[in-house]
Structure 1
Amino acid sequence: MFFQHVYDKSLAQGSYIIGCQATGEAIVIDAQRDIDVYLDIAKQNNLHISHIAETHIHADFLCGSRELAAVTGATMYLSDEGGEEWQYQFLHTGLKDGDVIKVGNLSLEVLHTPGHTPESISFLLTDHPATDKPVMVFTGDFVFVGDIGRPDLLEKAAGLIGTKETGAKQMFQSLKKFAALPDYIQLWPAHGAGSACGKALGTVPGSTVGYEKIRNWAFGYGEDEKGFIDYLLADQPEPPKYFAKMKHLNKVNRPLLVEVPKHPKLSKEAFIKAYEYGLKIIDARDKADFAKGFIPGSLNIQGNNSFSTWAGWLLNYQEQFMLVCDDNQIEDLTRKLMRIGLDNIYGYISDVHNLGMELQTADIISIDEFKTYLKKDDVRIVDVRGETEYEAGHIERAENVFVGTIPDNLDKISKDKQVIIHCQAGDRAAIAYSVLAKNGFRNVKNFSGGMKEWLASGGETITCKEPSCIEA
């Protein structure tokens, strides 16, 4: 048997290619959209991709199953569980609980494991030349290393009110099916640490059924369904705004992108013309370089592993946009964006200083200067971290406006008073600063050191259970 785990750090997303070396057949599970990685792996190992499968209708990335099927001619095997509302709306081979997919001398048994979503399935793999007992289970967003899939995404991201409690109850029952599997079976999930599909995902890529039954919090509640549900639904991170779009595009017919597109480097004249026409600019430079000089109206989303997530928060799927990045970054950023369906890149430039336009600078302040503003009544401190982070501990008098929702909550931030923003370590505050600057806020300072520097210097925090926080 051939096995390879393909991991996309930018979305903390795992996919798998498993092959029967005797017959040369292979299956890909939960493919990312830039499919050349699977084609290269198959070619290098004398395999042909004959089967493609998904564990569920994904919300956090645009699955590449259809691109891969279009190129290879492989058959797509997708869930037909979950009821009429949870059916894929394009041609595929449907799967139900107990069905078996055969890939050469390998077999994958389908387990219906609802909870994260109603149609979620897992695949129990047996390598028959070696043993007739299963050896691996591919759980998608059902069971992670150290955590389980959240059942509230359909409600929070897609607006399907009332689904989170139903999903939590289904998850409680599905875990019993998982717990009945032999302890030695290897666990391979669809996400790792950093994904918004859970709240405490582990950093190691895989585990075993037995180890998860010992260390995963979800198996510690016995028959206490209420306690389990209360904990599962509490303190989940904010689902990125683009999740609802992914949920839709992964379900319906959509345009395919079978190759990584190449975007042009724009001339000064072409860029300025597009800028004056109103195209949005995403500046992917380091936050320190952006602060020293940026194009008015541009948004600073650094080209790191969080790039696509924040782009998904702040861009819509109808507008064209341009990038500011180095020549050696453009392919990587293109891949990161296409993985969530943001394909409307008009082009890019690499130098903002030769455009002949006046650049803006960001007002970055030190912790010492930050402290001088804390007791002033005409100053507003805005913490742009997530709600759960804020509630766990924040600087007294700081208000919480999450960076991803700032464009929809500009009325909560004063244009008349001095505003000072911060996050944990500076990256999210840099995004927030650029959003506010784009929307005409001029009295804004960025305490870039954030909570990390505040705590390191001995700064105190309060929680939202303390009277001073409640009164604020």
Structure 2
Amino acid sequence: MLLKYFYDKSLAHASYMVGCQKTGEAILIDPDRNIDQYLDVAEREGMTIVGSAETHIHADYVSGSRELAEAIGAKLYVSDEGPADWKYTFVDGYDHQLLKDGNEFAVGNIKFKVMHTPGHTPESISFILTDTGGGADRPMGIFTGDFVFVGSIGRPDLLEEAAGQAGTAEPGARDLFASIKRFNELPDFLQVWPSHGAGSACGKGLGAIPSSTVGYEKLFNEALQFKSEDEFVAYVLSDQPEAPPYFAVMKHVNKHGPKVIGDEGLPKKIDIAKLTATVEDHMVIDVGASKSFARNHVPGALNIPTKYIARDAGWYVDYSKPLYLIAGGAELADAIHVFREMGVDNIVGYFDGDEVAKSGLATEAYEYKTPEEVAGAIERGDMLLVDVRRQAEWNEGHIPQADHRFLGKILDSVKEIDDSKPVVFHCRSGARSAVACGIAQASGIKNVINLDGGIVRWEKEGNPVVSEQPQSVGCGESC
């Protein structure tokens, strides 16, 4: 058996290739839209990709199953569990198999048994793998999708938080508790291969290592220790990371079938003479480094550095409207890759970053200042301090004078900020607050400062922080 692991760091997404070396056939588990990576590995390994299997309708990236079906005729293996609202609608146009709990399918001598594991979403399934070609009569591992992660578990509130389906979070949590009971009945020796790692918003506290075992997770995964269903529900619904609005778009896209991009290249380059008018009428995102943007940038442009696109862009981009980029060199291809993984297919053009820098159009700037430089003015009320971190971070500890405005929603609330005095934005280290500075200036608040080093440096320099941490939800004596 051949098992290959693929990991997209920007989205904290893991996918897998499972191949039968006796027959030369392979299947992909939860592939993303960048199918060239799979085709290249298959060619090197002498494998033919014959199928693509999905554990559920994904919310954080565009699935590659339809792309594979179009490009190479891959057979699609998808869930037929859950209510009617959570059925795939595009698969009828392709060779496919609908899967329910207990169903089996095979690729060469590799057998997969379907286990319905609802909770994260109603249709979620896991795949238990047995390598019959090696003579095994017991399974080797389980592909858990967004059900069980290393050290964590999939969140059950996305339908309510991102897709607007009120009243689904608690029932989802109770379904998840029942799914955990089934997981705990599996043999300890089974390997666990999840679809996300640390940094994903599909759960809280995900581990950074790629795989685990059922036995290890039973012992040390906090979410698997609860005996009381009610206590588990309280635990799993608390302190989840904020869900960006684009998750709802991804659910729709992956349910009904994403656009097939095929060999579509990069967007067209736009004449620099059109930049000012474009910024006035459309969203323009500069994907260059934050400190370069701070030194000089085009008024009205937002700044989301390429490495933060997956984290931030889903909060701001309107999928129904044209989007333009400012990018230079290799930045462009990398940025387009991440945007396409997020389903942003409306990028109609870009302005060359080097040309912009030389054009004289980059006339705006903002400063980075250390805590030492601004602490006194903040304490006296001569500067307004805005904390853009997540709610859980704010609760854990924040600067007493700070106004809390979460970065993901600041585009809607930034005009409420009092700009009669300089506005200092801060986060943990200075990366997210740099994005906030760009949003503020594009919204008309010009006198902005980024707190260099964020709250980490603020504390190191001996400045005060207060906590509003609510009482933690533990598993109590019933664990």
With the length of structure 2 as denominator, give the TM-score of the two structures.
0.93
Match of 1:57 in 2: 57
Match of 1:429 in 2: 433
- 2-side partners of 1:436 and 1:270: how far apart? 23
What do residues 405-452 of structure 1 show as CA deviations (whole Å, max 9, x unaligned)?
011122442133432210111111011011110010123222132111
By how many angstroms is 1:260 displaced? Answer: 5.3
- 2-side partners of 1:40 and 1:271: how far apart? 38
Q: 1:347 and 2:350 equivalent?
A: yes
Match of 1:198 in 2: 203
Q: Is the 8 A contact 2:272 2:351 kept in 1?
A: no
By how many angstroms is 1:372 displaced? Answer: 1.4
Which of the residues 324, 337, 340 maps onto 2:339?
Answer: 337
By how many angstroms is 1:459 displaced? Answer: 2.4
- 2-side partners of 1:465 and 1:97: how far apart? 41
Q: Is the 8 A contact 1:423 1:448 kept in 2?
A: no
By how many angstroms is 1:465 displaced? Answer: 5.3
By how many angstroms is 1:157 displaced? Answer: 0.6
Which of the residues 237, 240, 259 maps onto 1:255?
Answer: 259
Q: Is the 8 A contact 1:261 1:334 kept in 2?
A: no
Q: 1:391 and 2:408 equivalent?
A: no
Q: 1:299 and 2:277 equivalent?
A: no
**Structure 2 alignment gaps of length 5 or more:** 471-479
Which of the residues 119, 139, 147 maps onto 1:142?
Answer: 147
By how many angstroms is 1:132 displaced? Answer: 1.4
Q: Is the 8 A contact 2:396 2:469 kept in 1?
A: no
Q: 1:264 and 2:268 equivalent?
A: yes
Q: Is the 8 A contact 2:66 2:258 kept in 1?
A: no
Comparing both structures, which one devotes a greater share of its residues to helix? 2
Which of the residues 313, 324, 327 maps onto 1:325?
Answer: 327
**Local SS of the residue matching 2:223:** helix
Q: Is the 8 A contact 1:260 1:335 kept in 2?
A: no
Of 85-94 and 168-177, more deviation after overlay is shown by 85-94
What do residues 156-211 of structure 1 show as CA deviations (whole Å, max 9, x unaligned)?
11111111100110111101111111111110000000001111000000111111
Match of 2:3 in 1: 3
2:325 is matched by which residue type in structure 1? L
Q: Is the 8 A contact 1:68 1:258 kept in 2?
A: no
1:336 is matched by which residue type in structure 2? V
**Local SS of the residue matching 1:15:** strand
Of 108-117 and 396-405, more deviation after overlay is shown by 396-405
Match of 1:80 in 2: 80
- 2-side partners of 1:242 and 1:253: how far apart? 16
Q: 1:114 and 2:121 equivalent?
A: no
**Local SS of the residue matching 1:239:** coil
Q: 1:104 and 2:76 equivalent?
A: no
Q: Is the 8 A contact 1:260 1:334 kept in 2?
A: no
- 1-side partners of 2:429 and 2:264: how far apart? 33
Of 362-371 and 35-44, more deviation after overlay is shown by 362-371
**Local SS of the residue matching 1:354:** helix
- 2-side partners of 1:428 and 1:207: how far apart? 32
Which of the residues 233, 242, 250 maps onto 1:229?
Answer: 233
- 2-side partners of 1:261 and 1:181: how far apart? 46
**Structure 1 alignment gaps of length 5 or more:** 467-472
Of 319-328 and 428-437, more deviation after overlay is shown by 319-328
Q: Is the 8 A contact 1:123 1:137 kept in 2?
A: yes
1:291 is matched by which residue type in structure 2? A
- 2-side partners of 1:188 and 1:260: how far apart? 32
Match of 1:280 in 2: 283
Q: 1:37 and 2:37 equivalent?
A: yes
- 2-side partners of 1:313 and 1:144: how far apart? 25
The equivalences for 1:166-181 within 5 A come to 166-181=171-186
Distance 1:335 1:85, change over 3 A: same
**Local SS of the residue matching 1:175:** helix
Of 442-451 and 13-22, more deviation after overlay is shown by 442-451
- 1-side partners of 2:202 and 2:10: how far apart? 14
- 2-side partners of 1:438 and 1:89: how far apart? 40
By how many angstroms is 1:84 displaced? Answer: 1.2
Q: How many residues align?
A: 463
Q: 1:165 and 2:165 equivalent?
A: no
Match of 1:290 in 2: 293
2:116 is matched by which residue type in structure 1? H
With the length of structure 1 as denominator, give the TM-score of the two structures.
0.95
Q: 1:213 and 2:215 equivalent?
A: no
The equivalences for 1:354-365 within 5 A come to 354-357=358-361, 359-365=363-369
1:255 is matched by which residue type in structure 2? K
Q: 1:446 and 2:445 equivalent?
A: no
Which of the residues 186, 189, 192 maps onto 2:194?
Answer: 189
Alpha-carbon RMSD? 1.6
Q: Is the 8 A contact 2:397 2:469 kept in 1?
A: no
1:405 is matched by which residue type in structure 2? K
**Local SS of the residue matching 1:371:** helix
What do residues 75-124 of structure 1 show as CA deviations (whole Å, max 9, x unaligned)?
11110101212111122421000001110101100000001011000000
- 2-side partners of 1:260 and 1:4: how far apart? 27
Match of 2:373 in 1: 369
Match of 2:48 in 1: 48
**Local SS of the residue matching 2:256:** coil
What do residues 311-343 of structure 1 show as CA deviations (whole Å, max 9, x unaligned)?
111111122222222212221111111001112
By how many angstroms is 1:353 displaced? Answer: 2.1
Distance 1:429 1:125, change over 3 A: same
The equivalences for 1:412-427 within 5 A come to 412-427=416-431
- 2-side partners of 1:185 and 1:280: how far apart? 48
